[in-house]
Amino acid sequence: MTMTPISFVVFLCFVYFLMPVESFSSSSILHHRSSLSPSFRQHDGRLPLAKTLQDNDDSSSSSTTSFASPMEAVKNSFGFQTKQEEFQKAQADGFGTRARNAAINATVGDILVPLCSNLEQRQKLANQGVYPGVEYEICSLTLLASSDDDMSSSSGDSGDSVGMNGNDDSATATMMTAKSKVVQTLQGLDRGAKQGVIATVKPAYPLRAHLERDDWPVSVALLKDVPLWLAKATYEAGTAVGTLAVSLSGLVMASLVAFWIQLVGVPTPSMLPALQPGTVVLVTRSLPMLGKAFQPKVGDVVFFDAPSELETAISQRMIMPEESSAATASQDDVNDDMANLVPSASSSSNNNKADTSTKGKQLLKRVVAVPNEKVGVRQSSPYVQVSESTYRFDVIGRYARPEIFPADSWNRPLETLGRKEYFVAGDNGYRSVDSRVWGPLQQKYIIGTAQWVVWPLDHFGPIPPGPISEVTKPK
């Protein structure tokens, strides 16, 4: 089964939202198992079996034991979390520049992610052992105050002063001699007291060898040294949203490019000398509903589906190709649009529908006349009456087997094109089956306009002009 890009992105999003990042980390699983409280272990270090229900006589002295469902047990054993709850918390914290600083109400044991956009400050933090974008666990929180009055305004037991990591430029260097107070959380404290907090932090997971340090945990001025701390859920939610946005934008851009641009190979020599057989051209889609700027113009090479009028003209051709004088010519002489459009015609004498079907065929021709212009054919070459005294000529020559089609194909009187009709012809009239045979081309069949030759490289560049010229009669 082939997976499309859209289904692949949906699959990745499903996996991401189903399992948290830490559930894929063996170290996090080991950390989860080792963090079980000792009170829940037996004296020999093994995990106890499930408690048996007590007798009804003893029910008044004990609480009822609750058992998790099998699905909840699986989720707990593998570290699954409810992503909906995490996103709700992340939404409350905010995203990007509007994100709330999670360090304001930090608690020992919290997992926070430092962020810093200033390159110089990032380097200073890295020297301290605080790497932006890495998850850190808060190991301890210590309040520093500059006077006894400030210390008396907060509760708790006084502790030892906290040592720093030798960063003289850091704001924490001025707090070295200040009195300290160890706390478990910053919640409930006034904002002024929080500004002097010193935290010891360590990475929540193993880092690469060149980033590891021997002095974990390290000390940092929580609110002064680091501009912003994000909660783990907020950081993961922002990463998920950003990844999804980049993926979707990439898909949208790829879809737009695929819709707007197409590479097309030139199948026959009907556009010589401008386009050689085998040349690859870049085609941009025509969008006539957006105005004339996105509609084909005189001289443009258009790429279009074979019109139904062409199939009718081929099915009603006067004689079969193998019955014409060209049947005795060399294979190179019959290498034209007919060989590309109806390849079975040269090998079958049955003039039936299967032989004349042009369904799925596409052609490249040059626009000679646009809607509302008067166009005709004289001696196999199209011409346009631009004004009373100005004419446009496309001298392309006669077709190699003119007897195949009606004689009036090569000499048409002037006719005014409709509002959505174009007259197109190949630059090499000797090999081209075009509007001279089937008449005007309806706009609905046009796919796009050839803009550039991309292969071969020695022909790389804009589409060369055709043999179209304008002549003004002297007064």
Q: Which residue type occupies 259?
A: F
The alpha carbon of residue 146 and the mean position of all alpha carbons in its chain are separated, in whole angstroms, by 54
Structure tokens given for 466: 């055709």
**CA–CA distance, 186 with 153 (Å, rounded to integer):** 14
pLDDT string in tens for the chain (475-residue length): 434 444 554 455 544 444 433 333 333 333 333 333 333 333 333 333 333 333 434 433 433 334 445 555 445 544 445 555 555 555 555 555 467 888 899 999 999 999 988 999 999 999 999 999 999 999 999 988 643 444 344 334 434 434 444 444 444 444 444 467 899 999 988 888 888 899 999 999 999 999 999 899 999 999 999 999 998 888 888 888 888 888 999 899 888 888 889 999 998 899 999 999 999 999 999 888 887 888 899 999 999 999 999 888 888 775 544 444 433 333 344 456 777 776 554 444 444 444 556 788 899 999 999 999 999 999 999 999 999 899 999 999 999 989 889 888 999 999 999 999 999 999 999 999 999 999 999 999 999 999 999 999 999 999 999 999 999 988 7
Can you tell me which residue has the tokens 């690859």?
280
Structure tokens given for 28: 């996090």
Q: Which residue type occupies 233?
A: A
DSSP secondary structure code for residue 107 in this structure: B
**CA–CA distance, 234 with 56 (Å, rounded to integer):** 47
Structure tokens given for 341: 């459009």
Longest CA–CA span in the chain (Å) reads 124
- Cβ–Cβ < 8 Å for 272, 431: yes
The alpha carbon of residue 124 and the mean position of all alpha carbons in its chain are separated, in whole angstroms, by 36
- Cβ–Cβ < 8 Å for 341, 351: no
Residues tagged active-site: 270, 365
Classify 266-472 by CATH class. mainly beta
- Cβ–Cβ < 8 Å for 404, 317: yes
Asked if residue 114 has a cis previous peptide bond (ω within 30° of 0), the answer is no
Cα–Cα distance list, 445 to 145, 187, 283, 419, 458 (Å): 80, 70, 15, 14, 31
Closest CA relative to residue 400, chosen from 329, 301, 319: 329
Listed by start position, the domains of the chain span 77-259, 266-472
Rounded to the nearest 5 percent, the helix, strand and coil shares of the chain are 35, 25, 40
